[in-house]
Structure 1
Amino acid sequence: MSSKKAVIIGAGIAGIAAAIRLALKGYAVEVFEANATPGGKLSEVEQNGFRFDAGPSLLTMPQYINELFELAGKEPSKYFEYQKLDVICKYFYEDKTELTAYADRAKFTDEVSARTNEPTISLEKQAANSRVIYELTNPVFLEKPFRFKALLTKAGFKALVSLRKLGTGDTMHEANKSLFKDKRMIQFYDRYATYNGSNPYAAPATLNVIPHLEQHYGAYFPTGGMYSVTASLVKLATELGVGFKYNMPVDKILLEGDKVTSITVKGVEIPADIVISNMDIWFTYKKLLKDKPELHPQKILQQERSSSALVFYWGMNKKFDRLDLHNIFFSADYKAEFDHIWQQKTIYHDPTVYINITSKLNEKDAPPGCENWFVMINVPANTGQDWDTLVDEARKNILAKLSGQLNENVGELIVTESILDPRGIESKTSSYQGSIYGTSSNSKYAAFMRHANQSAKIKNLYFCGGSVHPGGGIPLCLLSAKIVSELVG
């Protein structure tokens, strides 16, 4: 048994990945999770014969998952299997345009040409711009702890002198509006801001890197659904000797001077050489270090939070051939929708609706002749709104929208339902205000102002997960774990 002890707070995907990496470095690792099951947002819901992935539903860059198994000398396919999607997503516009986003670049270009008035050259320029942003930011930002001295490296200098190419001077919408002629394609590319809970009318065009991750590297579906990512990594971690303690919320992080010494769980002190928090950064400080306000990063904790989500888990007693695994029903007025979320802190009457149906590829997720609909809209973070009223109104508006688009009374087909709103997201995943991605990216340098992966004031305290560098979403959470393992040494 190793003489070095690492304690990880939270069994979200980043916490599990960090546990694996530290176990491989020789640490004795224990993970303390407040819930009865692992995964955090990457969990599952089962109700009346239907299974739903509770949160993230799109898998990109699975190489970061495979890497964990390969580091352990394991064959990834024996733990975790997935297939590449031929169709990434189907899009439905209010003008009745239906657009299929094929993974194959040529097929997608032909589809856009057939369905819209967008010149092919625009798509080529977008793909090239997105690739350049990725190639400039990846070596100095996404896979490394962000430090200003990183700009003194060759890769850092290259990124610094290419700031114009990074799009920091424009918003996503401004960049897309200058590139595309067809408003449907502007809306198509603006939607990528929602991948990290931001507003395309405020977030920098640097975020136009996101389409490259999806369109160049592809989108995937794991056998058994997204929760199989969590299950497979927990299995690997357990085999490596990691101990998982469920229903064990951490009460406090204890210090001696400016150094972490232990945590307390249900009044019991547990010593640790290092502590890694996979808990939202806000709750890490405000709850676990509440008696040390002088050590709090006040400016970071006051930053604007990302958007949240309202999710309906609907068991449907009919199959819809027009729908695919991923489906988007766009709002007729995207600007108004985001203004309601970000300025008015409420829900627009015509929200963009996302539907994920895993039973399209995994029939076991729904009874015969049925489908499991994960129905989600973007909503503001919880700042005290009347959510009972908002949820009721949103449900009616979503049903009306989908019924009109699909020429079917969707509400009559629902045989089972559960609902998750920002209040539930906060209580179940310790995400402050129910924000899914920590802080928003609605300012020019917001991405560079996220909390670091290592405390600047507290020795042996580290951070991983969607609320810290490099950001939210499965790939970036896995990268945060990688960064932490390198910082620990």
Structure 2
Amino acid sequence: MNSETAIVVGAGVGGLAAALDLATAGIGVTVVEAAAGPGGKMRAVTVAGHAIDAGPTVFTMRWVFDELLAAAGTTLEREVSLKPLQVLARHAWSEDERLDLFADVERSEGAIGVFAGAAEARRFRGFCDRAARIYSTLERPFLRGARCRSPLDLFFRAGLRRIPDLAAISPFGTLWGALADHFHDPRLRQLFGRYATYCGSSPFLAPATLMLIAHVEQQGVWVVGDGMHGFAKALARIAQRRGVAFRFGATVVNVTVADGRATGVLLASGEWLPADVVVLNTDVAALANGGLGEAVRRTVGAVPQRSRSLSALTWMLVGEAQGFPLRHHNVFFSGDYRGEFDRLHRDRRLPDDPTIYICAQDRSDIAPDGGVSNGGTAGPERLFCLVNAPPTGDTEAFDVEEIAACEHATFSRLARCGLEIRYPPEALRVVTPADFHRLFPGTGGALYGRASHGWRASFQRPGSRTRVRGLYLAGGSTHPGPGVPMAALSGRLAAASLLADLVSGRRSLRK
């Protein structure tokens, strides 16, 4: 049994994954979290007596959690209820323009053929092949591996035989430009370009490499029975069974350092918690701006405001949706996609014609006979609505009129697509970039760390290790990047680095 102790700061999915792996290895782990419960951005908000997932809503890359829980001695099936979606998402441009993507690629190809013609359907197949090749090329050397410092580092790690595949990932071209090679219909470029927003980026600035997200979704999208926040709670329960202690409602204000080594954390209450090692599952912006103390401030570089990922304006509501047959995941596209992102990135304003994502959390496409139902639901239901917003929550709080104007534009776009949502005023909760900044200090409301703009961005995210001995980083703002499975991988990488360093240190002491 190891005698070392670890403190994990932050009970988001990266911190929970790190805590699980460390506890499984015999480390004494305490997770310290400012919120009242686990989850981080995987949080729930209570509206009109109903808990609504108010963060990530898409569960993909199931293998990440199969492997995590297998290492902890359990399985996903034993711990949570998961249902695979047959309809990945429903997309709309107007009342007459709708397109579903399916888990079955052949069904998607057929739907695209009906929607945009046989030639576009054939091009979709080519797009799928390219997305799969990019994913296959990057999974082991990049997603599962330690941080690459440069493209050359990635080339060496992948090996000579993968050089043609590495050239095909197109890191120097934009996603929007690459999509023009595959789709002539601008609506399809819009649809697949939206994957850039999964990491808070613009399809006009993000690298073509992000096509791999399409392949990730084709490998499966699941609905968690108790919601994404429920999944975070399940991970915390498993960690507790493994002996992990949790301190909720405890804010860390300082990481203490002595002789160049992390020695613990200081809480806002004045209490000091000593530890042999510390894992920070916080946004690196909070570290860089001194929010965790001067001793560790320079362990990461600051993220300039212009390099931040997108924020969001969200509406959580309980109401009746009429006129449009919602699925679990739905996207309603703006009429001017480039203008929308110019307004977000160039002007730093809320969009006046936004693209809207809606998660209808009470809907599933799994019928009792295993077929696809119409997704209908009777009476009020839980809806999570999101539009992209600039990450200016620390410098500019949008006033009531600006938010109202964006809300009007949002629900007007939904109406033009045939969707009317009725709800009483008390059944609505709005969250702005300024609110996200208060929830996640130092970020300005940016939800994904550094934006994935340009080929350098992926190599600028910090890795697990820092220049302070015994201090490690995890979370969506670190390598390999944002998103629930990626943040979990970051936690596992932090734990692996920490454990390897402990073994190395023991060996040094024996010499």
TM over 0.5: yes
- Higher mean alpha-carbon deviation, 265-274 vs 425-434, is at 425-434
The residue number in structure 1 matching 2:144 is 143
Matched residues in 1 for 2:145 and 2:380: separation?
45
Give the residue type in structure 2 aligned to 1:401. R
1:102 aligns with 2:102: yes
The residue number in structure 2 matching 1:312 is 315
2:405 to 368, 384, 393: 393
Alpha-carbon shift at residue 242 of structure 1 (Å): 0.4
**Cα separation, partners in 2 of 1:380 and 1:324, compared to 1, 3 Å:** same
2:485 to 475, 478, 487: 475
Matched residues in 1 for 2:2 and 2:296: separation?
34
Matched residues in 2 for 1:174 and 1:126: separation?
13
Matched residues in 2 for 1:453 and 1:142: separation?
13
1:406 aligns with 2:409: no
Cα shift readout 1:205-242 (whole Å, capped 9, x = no counterpart) = 11111111011x11110112112210110110010110
**Cα separation, partners in 2 of 1:159 and 1:67, compared to 1, 3 Å:** same
Give the residue type in structure 1 aligned to 2:458. A
Query: Is contact 1:171–1:203 with CA below 8 Å preserved after alignment?
Result: yes
**Cα separation, partners in 2 of 1:161 and 1:428, compared to 1, 3 Å:** same
The residue number in structure 2 matching 1:45 is 45
Give the residue type in structure 2 aligned to 1:257. D
1:268 aligns with 2:268: no
Matched residues in 1 for 2:425 and 2:82: separation?
29
- Higher mean alpha-carbon deviation, 27-36 vs 264-273, is at 264-273
Aligned partner of residue 96 in structure 2, secondary structure: coil
Aligned partner of residue 289 in structure 2, secondary structure: helix
- Higher mean alpha-carbon deviation, 324-333 vs 282-291, is at 282-291
Aligned partner of residue 385 in structure 2, secondary structure: strand
**Cα separation, partners in 2 of 1:473 and 1:448, compared to 1, 3 Å:** same
**Cα separation, partners in 2 of 1:431 and 1:237, compared to 1, 3 Å:** farther
Cα shift readout 1:395-419 (whole Å, capped 9, x = no counterpart) = 11112111222264x3567661001
The residue number in structure 1 matching 2:80 is 80
**Cα separation, partners in 2 of 1:31 and 1:464, compared to 1, 3 Å:** same
Matched residues in 2 for 1:370 and 1:302: separation?
39
Query: Is contact 1:251–1:267 with CA below 8 Å preserved after alignment?
Result: no
Query: Is contact 1:300–1:451 with CA below 8 Å preserved after alignment?
Result: no
Give the residue type in structure 1 aligned to 2:230. S
**Structure 1 gap segments, 5+ residues each:** none
Query: Is contact 2:324–2:419 with CA below 8 Å preserved after alignment?
Result: no
Cα shift readout 1:396-445 (whole Å, capped 9, x = no counterpart) = 1112111222264x356766100111111121233611101000011122
**Cα separation, partners in 2 of 1:340 and 1:303, compared to 1, 3 Å:** closer
Alpha-carbon shift at residue 120 of structure 1 (Å): 2.5
Give the residue type in structure 1 aligned to 2:243. G
Query: Is contact 1:15–1:278 with CA below 8 Å preserved after alignment?
Result: yes
Matched residues in 2 for 1:476 and 1:303: separation?
23
Q: Show the 5 A alignment for 1:33-432.
A: 33-94=33-94, 96-117=96-117, 118-148=119-149, 151=154, 153=156, 155-160=158-163, 162-215=165-218, 217-265=219-267, 266-292=269-295, 295-298=298-301, 304-318=307-321, 322-361=325-364, 369-382=379-392, 384-388=395-399, 389-406=401-418, 408=420, 410=421, 416-430=427-441, 432=443
- Higher mean alpha-carbon deviation, 309-318 vs 11-20, is at 309-318
- Higher mean alpha-carbon deviation, 158-167 vs 221-230, is at 158-167
Cα shift readout 1:42-78 (whole Å, capped 9, x = no counterpart) = 0111222333101001110122122222112223322
Query: Is contact 1:319–1:371 with CA below 8 Å preserved after alignment?
Result: no
Cα shift readout 1:98-135 (whole Å, capped 9, x = no counterpart) = 00111111111110000113432211111111111111
Alpha-carbon shift at residue 315 of structure 1 (Å): 1.1
Alpha-carbon shift at residue 164 of structure 1 (Å): 2.7
Aligned partner of residue 251 in structure 1, secondary structure: strand
Query: Is contact 1:137–1:159 with CA below 8 Å preserved after alignment?
Result: no
Give the residue type in structure 2 aligned to 1:76. L
Aligned partner of residue 211 in structure 2, secondary structure: helix
Alpha-carbon shift at residue 385 of structure 1 (Å): 2.9
Alpha-carbon shift at residue 161 of structure 1 (Å): 5.3
Query: Is contact 2:319–2:383 with CA below 8 Å preserved after alignment?
Result: yes
Aligned partner of residue 486 in structure 1, secondary structure: helix
**Cα separation, partners in 2 of 1:28 and 1:102, compared to 1, 3 Å:** same
Cα shift readout 1:179-228 (whole Å, capped 9, x = no counterpart) = 2111111111111100100011011111111111011x111101121122
Equivalent pairs counted in the alignment come to 484
**Cα separation, partners in 2 of 1:156 and 1:436, compared to 1, 3 Å:** farther
Query: Is contact 1:151–1:160 with CA below 8 Å preserved after alignment?
Result: no
Cα shift readout 1:130-161 (whole Å, capped 9, x = no counterpart) = 11111111111111112458547562444555
Aligned partner of residue 136 in structure 1, secondary structure: helix
Alpha-carbon shift at residue 317 of structure 1 (Å): 3.3
**Cα separation, partners in 2 of 1:422 and 1:454, compared to 1, 3 Å:** same
Query: Is contact 1:278–1:465 with CA below 8 Å preserved after alignment?
Result: yes
Cα shift readout 1:284-334 (whole Å, capped 9, x = no counterpart) = 232344423773433656771100011001111356661111110000110
**Cα separation, partners in 2 of 1:318 and 1:200, compared to 1, 3 Å:** closer
1:18 aligns with 2:30: no
**Cα separation, partners in 2 of 1:26 and 1:344, compared to 1, 3 Å:** same
Matched residues in 2 for 1:5 and 1:407: separation?
53
**Cα separation, partners in 2 of 1:399 and 1:92, compared to 1, 3 Å:** same
Matched residues in 1 for 2:365 and 2:133: separation?
36
Matched residues in 2 for 1:272 and 1:160: separation?
44
**Cα separation, partners in 2 of 1:82 and 1:320, compared to 1, 3 Å:** farther
**Cα separation, partners in 2 of 1:147 and 1:111, compared to 1, 3 Å:** closer
Query: Is contact 1:14–1:478 with CA below 8 Å preserved after alignment?
Result: yes
Give the residue type in structure 1 aligned to 2:452. S
Query: Is contact 1:464–1:484 with CA below 8 Å preserved after alignment?
Result: yes
Give the residue type in structure 1 aligned to 2:48. N
Give the residue type in structure 2 aligned to 1:478. A
Matched residues in 1 for 2:3 and 2:177: separation?
55
Query: Is contact 1:316–1:414 with CA below 8 Å preserved after alignment?
Result: no
Query: Is contact 2:480–2:490 with CA below 8 Å preserved after alignment?
Result: yes
Aligned partner of residue 454 in structure 2, secondary structure: coil
The residue number in structure 2 matching 1:485 is 495
Aligned partner of residue 417 in structure 2, secondary structure: helix
The residue number in structure 1 matching 2:503 is none
The residue number in structure 2 matching 1:448 is 459
